[in-house]
Amino acid sequence: MRNNGKMGTNQHYITRLEKKGVKPTAVRILVFRALEEAQLPVSLLDLENLLETVDKSTIFRTLNAFLAHHLIHAIEDGSGSLKYEVCSNEDTCSIDDMHTHFYCERCHRTFCFHGIHVPIVHLPEGFNMQSINYMIKGICKECSYKMKMNE
């Protein structure tokens, strides 16, 4: 990994990885940085395009390691591929991290609505929730605006 005068900024990523027991290799730092800087959930293909020098299988293995160590969570948005995003709580990825997502059926982007929490679901006795996916589908603000301009 090139320095580019940014090694100091990598300390944040190194600390987050080490705190969760993940060895901070150059590739893991690149992938984690890309996920955090994206500010939207991203797919494996998105990461491949962002990190052209890293092969798909390495990115996939890195994502699985991050999932196993609760650094990120995966979202099924109905597009046919999982999207990944960094857990907002540095200590653990929990049900509290599960916020509402919006999938735009026109531009195929997935947006996070951190301020809109997933509704509380009361399960029957004996059932224990591990995760929840709350997805709203429609047309995003930007696409709605473009559609109105084309009318």
User: What is the average pLDDT across 107-119?
Assistant: 84
Number of domains forming the structure of the chain: 1
Give residue 34's identity as a one-letter amino acid code. A
Total length of the chain? 151
Is 15 domain-assigned?
yes
pTM given for the model: 0.73
**Assigned domain for 50 exists:** yes
- Known binding residue 107? Answer is yes
Q: What is the CATH classification number for the domain harbouring 33?
A: 1.10.10.10
- Report whether 104 belongs to an annotated binding site: yes
Residue 1 forms part of a structural domain: no
The encoded tokens of residue 136 equal: 């709203």
**Cβ atoms of 69 and 21 closer than 8 Å:** yes
Looking at the predicted structure, is the pLDDT value of residue 4 above 70? no
Task: Tell whether 2 is covered by a domain.
Answer: no
Beta-sheet pairing, 99-104 with 72-76: unpaired
Beta bridge partners of 36: none
Look at residue 87 in the predicted model and tell me its pLDDT: 82
For the stretch 46-74, pLDDT in tens is 999 999 999 999 999 999 999 999 899 88
Q: Which domain holds residue 100?
A: 7-149
Q: Strand, helix or coil at 130?
A: coil
- The answer on whether 87 is annotated among ligand-binding residues is no
pLDDT at 50 (0 to 100): 94
